[in-house]
Structure 1
Amino acid sequence: MRIRTDWRASLAFVGTVLKYLSVPLAFPIVVALVYSEPVFPFVATIALTIALGYGLERLRPEPDLQVREAMLFVAISWLAVAIVGAVPYVLAGLGTESTLAHPVNAVFESMSGFTTTGATVLGTISVERHSHAIMMWRQLTQWLGGMGIIVLMVAILPELAVSGAQLVESEAPGPQLQKLTPRIAETARILWLVYFAFTVVFIGILYGLNQVGLAPNMGLYNAIAHGFTTLPTGGFSPESRSIAAFSPIVQWTFIPFIVIAGTNFALFWHVFSGERRCFVRNSEFRAYIGAIVGLTVLLAGILYAGAAPELGKLGGVTAGAFENSLRQSAFQVVSLLNSTGYATSDFVEWSSTGKIVLLFAMLVGGCAGSTGGGVKVVRWLIVFKMLRRELFTASHPEVVRPIRLGGNVVDEDAIRGVLGFTFMYLFVFALATLLIALDANHLIETPLEAFSASLATIGNIGPGFGFLGPFGSYTDFPIPSKLLMIFLMWIGRLEIIPVLVMFTGGFWTR
């Protein structure tokens, strides 16, 4: 049996990605120098990434990427980046009691960062024990992973632009790639430019609130740190209490930017190009906003009526307080619907009815072409339209009824792809739930906790229910469960197929 996939070409390009990973690693060095903290963990990691990068590049002097090689490159790149990104955690934790000193914990935190999951093995006390530089690297990993590492590489490296469409399609979230220009490299640059611009604006607003006295603990460090994790819908925070640590006006400021992060970034480019009504015409965006508004109103009513207790120092919800109920519900709905994972209160202590609403939000996901995780709104639209068509054709078998989105007919191959993805997503999610429940039965008290652990990692959401709530951590899970959840975060970010296809014989031999 002959292997026909040119794995050497794929690994050679993985080397290129690792080599350029040394550039963002310089940023936490600057932070370490500002705060007089050790730079060795980052200097050593830079040396490692450069050495690995050049070594892998030598596997194939002039690599060429076809479809299978492109998928292999994307999948292995994300795994390699997460492993290398864990090195600063391990080196910084040597000789200490840091949770991140354990390699599996470090890879878990790194994979959670790059995939913008936001699940963490750091408890509320452990977060505040780490250096500013380590915590900023943790934040930066989410920003790099938000719009996509490969999309960034396609945007800046001419050698990857040749196979750019295949690479971006394998990495970009959603069932389709919307080309904004004829050249895919230019499209990648536009998406990163929009992403970068929103990040800068958000950081500026947060720091501005601090300067006028409306956000006393939102200094420049916190503004940059939260800017790095809001637009990628990441959810990491250097504050142990997440966004509950900040004033109500700061919490309201986060909400529109989380909504922006879950919106197809191509729509913003169309607006900047003069197409003012593109948001109104886009059926996915309308459904996305409808889901946010509907779930927020429902949850706000539940909280206002007193279905949740007052939670005191965790931020909490006060029954009968309109602004408080609306802010808490709006924040948690947009945060979990877009897989951001920030929190303004410990929703684990909310009523069962309120948690069910949040569970629905977690299942929705953001828009295609956004940094949001989950199944994606457009897929749910197609699934519901397909089910409605099946009901109609059952009584009208002679009628040909295509599925339309925004006035455009959806190709039947695309519909089959959506159904295939949705089935695989739900199957892997259900299987992982069972495996986690079996392996961590000493921790899992209710099926909802195992359910949320699986959903929070494959959906790149972060927090779950029970001890996995917004102020909890994944520290106590056994090593096999952590390894499984690392795998779930990996395949969830790449939307399953580019990873699982590597485990089929036909990928390598046909």
Structure 2
Amino acid sequence: MNTVVNWHKSVALTGTVVKFLSVAMLVPLVTAIVYGEDVVVFGISIIVAVGLGFGLEQLDGDEDLQSREALLFVALAWFVVAVVAAVPYVLAGYGTESTLADPVNALFEAMSGISTTGATVMGSISTDSHSHALMLWRQLTQWLGGMGIIVLMVAILPELSVNGAQLVSEEAPGPTLEKLTPRIAETARILWQAYFAFTVLLAVLLYGLHVLGYAPEMDLYTSIAHAFSTLPTGGFSTRADSIAAFSVAVQWIVIPFMVVAGTNFALFWHLFDGDLGRPLRDREFRAYAGAIAVLTAVLTGLLFFRAAPTVSPGGTTQGTFWNALRQAAFQVGSLMNSTGYATSNFAEWDTHGQLVLLFTMFIGGSAGSTGGGIKVIRWLIVLKSLRRELFQVTHPEAVQPIRLGSHVIDEKAIRGVVGFTLLYFLLFGLGAVFIALDAARVGIELTALEAVGASLAAIGNIGPAFGRLGPFGSYLMLPDTTKFVMILLMWAGRLEIITVLAVFTPTFWRR
């Protein structure tokens, strides 16, 4: 077999990414110094990251980064970054009863963070059980993964700007990423600047509520921590009860930022550039906003007229319109774009409410956002393709291109969207069957909704599922084999499946 993939180049570039990850670890290191907790843990973690990064960089050669090497680099970088991100968890848990001392649990938590999934295997979630530095690292991993590690590298490393367009396309959430400027590196910087600005704005608003007395528990540390996990649609919280642990004012503030995070960030660039009508002309944004509005209205009605047996700690909703609206808007805004926050234990809602949320989880955010899932633009193309097929049954000679607004969608792109959607459902189905059977193997009986929810939560990077795996539960009870399969699903889901699956095909490595 003649190998045509220069894997040395891909591995060397992965080393560069890992080396820069050590810079991000300075944030929890400073936090550790301030609070006097886990200083050694993050000191050693930084040394490990720097050493591994420099070691992998030594494999570099003079060859250029071609298409296969670019694809391998993106897939490999994300997995290796998750492995390195797990190091602080293992070190902090060593010699204790922490669930994260187990390397599989640590890798699960790290991959969940870097892929912005928000699923957890932590036995206890609070700064009483874990250090402030470790909890902030948990939040920061989501922020780093939200807009994309490779997008960030393209923005700051000149040597990657030559192949930047392909690298970004392999990592970008959605089938397209609008090129805002002639240079892809400049586009990457614009996206990260917008992402950073919204993060700062949310942190300021949350802390402002604390200063004004509307959010007693939302101190500066907690405000920054939740800004780090809201904009990447991550869903990690420093509280076991997620956003339900905070005031109603905090919940109302977080809702619009979750919607913003699921919106194509390129639209904000157009807004700042003076094109105020661009979002209203964007077909995907109108569908995204419309879906949120309709699903929120339906769920509000269900909660208002036929509330679940319990919605604690969110408070009663039956007959209380504003509570019902808040609960519905928050859960729809959170699950549609894969944030995974919760203000109510929807695992205890009645079947109708849970089915609405399950449907919501299949939609996803917008292309060019930090949201996970299938993505709204793909659903638009799939639905238009189905309508064209039905039309051509009775009009076989008709030539009917598929359009989104004034743009004609290329037939190759349509096939790619349909292929991705089929792969998504195939992996989701296989994952659900495996999770149910593997849990039964060790004596854990999962309901069908729990198994289906777990698989969808992993591949869609959503986080919480239903039942015992719901928003106030965890995946700790599952066997290590199931956790590792979910790690792979989270990895594949964040990189849009094709990027990961391609490197495992024999033809990828042959001439």
TM-score (structure 1 length as normaliser): 0.98
Secondary structure of the residue that 2:433 maps to in structure 1? Answer: helix
> How many equivalent pairs are there?
509
Match of 1:68 in 2: 68
Deviations 1:309-361 (A, max 9, x none): 3434x223331111100000000001000100000010011110000100111
Match of 1:273 in 2: 273
The answer to whether 1:420 aligns with 2:396 is no
The answer to whether 1:315 aligns with 2:314 is yes
Deviations 1:170-203 (A, max 9, x none): 0000011210001000000000000000000010
Identical residues among aligned pairs (%)? 64
The answer to whether 1:250 aligns with 2:263 is no
Match of 2:323 in 1: 324
Match of 1:459 in 2: 460
Q: What's the CA shift for 1:125? A: 5.6
The answer to whether 1:493 aligns with 2:490 is no
Q: How does 1:495-510 map to 2 (within 5 A)?
A: 495-510=496-511
Match of 1:345 in 2: 344
- Confirm or deny: 8 A CA contact 2:126 2:238 kept in the other structure: no
Q: What's the CA shift for 1:28? A: 0.3
Match of 2:447 in 1: 446
Give the whole-Å Cα distance in 2 for the aligned partners of 1:465 and 1:376: 22
Match of 1:403 in 2: 402
Give the whole-Å Cα distance in 1 for the aligned partners of 2:42 and 2:150: 22
Give the whole-Å Cα distance in 1 for the aligned partners of 2:244 and 2:138: 20
The answer to whether 1:479 aligns with 2:480 is yes
Q: How does 1:177-192 map to 2 (within 5 A)?
A: 177-192=177-192
Q: What's the CA shift for 1:124? A: 4.5
Q: What's the CA shift for 1:279? A: 0.5
Change (3 A) 1:371 1:334: same
Q: What's the CA shift for 1:444? A: 3.3
- Equivalent residue letter for 2:247: S
Segment of structure 1 superposing worse, 316-325 or 234-243: 316-325
Match of 1:264 in 2: 264
Deviations 1:87-118 (A, max 9, x none): 00000001100000000000000000000000
Q: What's the CA shift for 1:63? A: 4.6
Q: How does 1:14-413 map to 2 (within 5 A)?
A: 14-124=14-124, 128-312=128-312, 314-413=313-412
Deviations 1:211-259 (A, max 9, x none): 1111111000110000000000000000111100111111000000000
Give the whole-Å Cα distance in 1 for the aligned partners of 2:39 and 2:105: 21
Q: What's the CA shift for 1:367? A: 0.2
- Equivalent residue letter for 2:4: R
- Confirm or deny: 8 A CA contact 1:339 1:372 kept in the other structure: yes
- Equivalent residue letter for 1:240: A
Give the whole-Å Cα distance in 1 for the aligned partners of 2:147 and 2:459: 18
Structure 2 gap segments, 5+ residues each = none
Segment of structure 1 superposing worse, 435-444 or 114-123: 435-444
- Equivalent residue letter for 1:448: L
Secondary structure of the residue that 2:24 maps to in structure 1? Answer: coil
- Confirm or deny: 8 A CA contact 1:309 1:317 kept in the other structure: no
- Confirm or deny: 8 A CA contact 1:13 1:63 kept in the other structure: no
- Equivalent residue letter for 1:156: I
TM-score (structure 2 length as normaliser): 0.98
Q: What's the CA shift for 1:126? A: 6.7
Secondary structure of the residue that 2:179 maps to in structure 1? Answer: coil
- Confirm or deny: 8 A CA contact 1:310 1:319 kept in the other structure: no
- Equivalent residue letter for 2:472: F
Deviations 1:10-29 (A, max 9, x none): 00100100111110100001
Give the whole-Å Cα distance in 1 for the aligned partners of 2:393 and 2:306: 45
Segment of structure 1 superposing worse, 482-491 or 54-63: 54-63
Q: What's the CA shift for 1:128? A: 4.3
- Confirm or deny: 8 A CA contact 2:310 2:348 kept in the other structure: no
- Equivalent residue letter for 2:402: I
Give the whole-Å Cα distance in 2 for the aligned partners of 1:2 and 1:499: 21
Give the whole-Å Cα distance in 2 for the aligned partners of 1:461 and 1:112: 9
Change (3 A) 1:110 1:63: farther
- Confirm or deny: 8 A CA contact 1:310 1:318 kept in the other structure: no
Q: What's the CA shift for 1:464? A: 0.2
- Equivalent residue letter for 2:404: L
Give the whole-Å Cα distance in 2 for the aligned partners of 1:193 and 1:97: 40
- Confirm or deny: 8 A CA contact 1:234 1:339 kept in the other structure: yes
Change (3 A) 1:21 1:100: same
Q: What's the CA shift for 1:127? A: 6.8
Structure 1 gap segments, 5+ residues each = none
Deviations 1:419-462 (A, max 9, x none): 01001111111111111111002323311111001000000000
- Confirm or deny: 8 A CA contact 1:17 1:153 kept in the other structure: yes
Give the whole-Å Cα distance in 2 for the aligned partners of 1:462 and 1:261: 16
- Equivalent residue letter for 2:378: R
Give the whole-Å Cα distance in 1 for the aligned partners of 2:336 and 2:498: 22
- Confirm or deny: 8 A CA contact 1:124 1:472 kept in the other structure: no
Q: What's the CA shift for 1:38? A: 2.3
Change (3 A) 1:403 1:239: same
Give the whole-Å Cα distance in 1 for the aligned partners of 2:217 and 2:62: 51
Give the whole-Å Cα distance in 2 for the aligned partners of 1:244 and 1:123: 18
Deviations 1:240-289 (A, max 9, x none): 11100111111000000000000000000011111111100001000001
Give the whole-Å Cα distance in 2 for the aligned partners of 1:461 and 1:190: 26
